């Protein structure tokens, strides 16, 4: 499925696609949980895609977007799906400006939409990575500080990001207030199984809690080149940071401190699903749209009130 598929241009086909993804066994009432016990409402005055629950004591109307991140949105469903396809299939992401131009929606709507897509990509049940006989690379970097506006003498603040990547596996990244042994330890012991072999640079902060892991290697640049190339390296996490930075500077130009964790969820999601094809990746993200709602201040552009 590519961007020319009718689900990206026809709202009814987009809704049918979402229904098939969310309700493989027939419509599920979000109010009482009954499965395949609803009738589709028809008639000129009825919005398309509305069902009425047939369960005694419920009998409430619902649609596939109730309770989802798309709930009450004025943006047509086909544009939501197109935006998700673009964001999940572009290696460095897609900016609100690009979505605004490509989808013909206001910049403000595109901005809200993009943040809802990122929320859908965050996996609240993501467990620890690594395990015995698994190598987890950890490293920290700083994002920001390249703003072009030099009107203010004060340099832009840089934000610290810690990331852990299991070799040939998933990534978990975090925005941390500062880089200390305490913040590094909290992020790393939360996100990585302690049976893992931890690989870091020679930052002393890692040494103490590195002992809590199955093993701890530090990258020493004077080590034999062949051994370093095959085992003692942090290339995997460095590659992750390189894609993140190219995205943040090249596509998003600037990421505010308050939203950095959302961008990290987006880049983590793409890394963790890179083996899926574009269609499966977009469908996985769409499933994440259900049951998550952001409580942004409503604007007339972005939502009904
Ligand atoms: Zn019901």
Structural domains for the chain: 135-255 (3.30.420.10)
CA proximity to 173, closest of 95, 64, 105, 255: 255
Q: Give the Cβ contact number of residue 102 at 10 Å.
A: 15
CA distances from 93 to 41, 88, 104, 234, 252 (A): 38, 7, 18, 24, 8
pLDDT in tens, the chain (305 residues): 788 999 999 999 999 999 999 999 999 998 999 999 999 999 888 888 999 999 999 999 999 998 889 988 999 999 999 999 999 999 889 999 999 999 999 999 999 999 999 999 998 888 999 999 999 999 999 998 655 555 656 667 789 999 999 999 999 999 999 999 999 999 999 999 999 999 999 888 899 899 999 999 998 777 777 667 788 899 999 999 999 999 988 888 878 888 999 999 999 999 999 999 999 999 999 988 875 555 443 443 333 32
Interacting residues of 116 by C-beta distance below 8 A, sequence separation 6+: 69, 70, 289, 294
Q: What is the pTM of this model?
A: 0.88
* Ligand 1 centroid from CA 35, angstroms: 9
* Ligand 1 centroid from CA 122, angstroms: 28
∠ Cα 146 148 154 (to 5°) = 70
Residue 210 backbone dihedrals phi, psi, to 5 degrees: -55, -30
* Ligand 1 centroid from CA 75, angstroms: 26
Q: Is 52 helix (H, G, I), strand (E, B) or coil?
A: strand
Q: Give the Cβ contact number of residue 34 at 10 Å.
A: 16
Half-sphere exposure in the Cβ direction for 182 (13 Å, CA): 2
User: Hey, which bits of the chain come out as E strands?
Assistant: 38-40, 51-53, 61-62, 135-143, 159-166, 171-176, 197-200, 215-218
CA distances from 177 to 20, 141, 173 (A): 42, 12, 13
* Ligand 1 centroid from CA 54, angstroms: 7
Neighbours of ion ligand 1 (CB under 5 A): 29, 31-32, 53, 55, 58
Contact 166, 129 (CB under 8 A): yes
* Ligand 1 centroid from CA 27, angstroms: 10
């Amino acid at each position: 499925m590519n961007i020319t598929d009718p689900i990206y241009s026809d709202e009814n086909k987009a809704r049918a696609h979402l229904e098939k993804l969310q309700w493989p066994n027939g419509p599920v009432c979000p109010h009482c949980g009954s499965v395949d016990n609803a009738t589709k409402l028809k008639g000129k005055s009825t919005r398309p895609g509305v069902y009425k629950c047939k369960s005694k004591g419920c009998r409430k109307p619902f649609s596939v977007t109730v309770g989802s991140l798309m709930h009450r949105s004025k943006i047509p469903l086909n544009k939501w799906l197109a935006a998700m396809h673009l964001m999940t299939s572009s290696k460095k992401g897609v900016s609100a400006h690009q979505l605004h131009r490509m989808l013909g929606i206001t910049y403000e709507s595109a901005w809200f939409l993009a943040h809802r897509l990122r929320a859908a990509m965050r996996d609240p049940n993501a467990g620890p990575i690594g395990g015995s006989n698994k190598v987890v690379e950890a490293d920290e970097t700083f994002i920001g500080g390249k703003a072009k506006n030099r009107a203010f003498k004060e340099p832009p603040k840089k934000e610290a990001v810690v990331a852990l990547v299991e070799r040939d596996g998933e990534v978990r990244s975090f925005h941390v207030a500062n880089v200390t042994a305490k913040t590094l330890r909290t992020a790393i012991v939360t996100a990585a199984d302690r049976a893992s072999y931890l690989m870091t640079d020679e930052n002393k902060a890692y040494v103490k809690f590195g002992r809590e892991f199955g093993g701890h290697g530090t990258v020493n640049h004077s080590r034999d080149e062949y051994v370093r190339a095959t085992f003692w390296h942090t290339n995997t996490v460095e590659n992750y940071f390189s894609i993140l930075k190219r995205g943040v500077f090249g596509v998003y130009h600037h990421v505010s401190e308050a939203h950095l964790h959302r961008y990290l969820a987006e880049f983590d999601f793409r890394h963790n699903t890179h083996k899926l094809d574009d269609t499966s990746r977009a469908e996985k993200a769409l499933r994440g749209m259900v049951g998550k709602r952001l409580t942004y201040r409503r604007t007339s552009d972005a939502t009904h009130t």
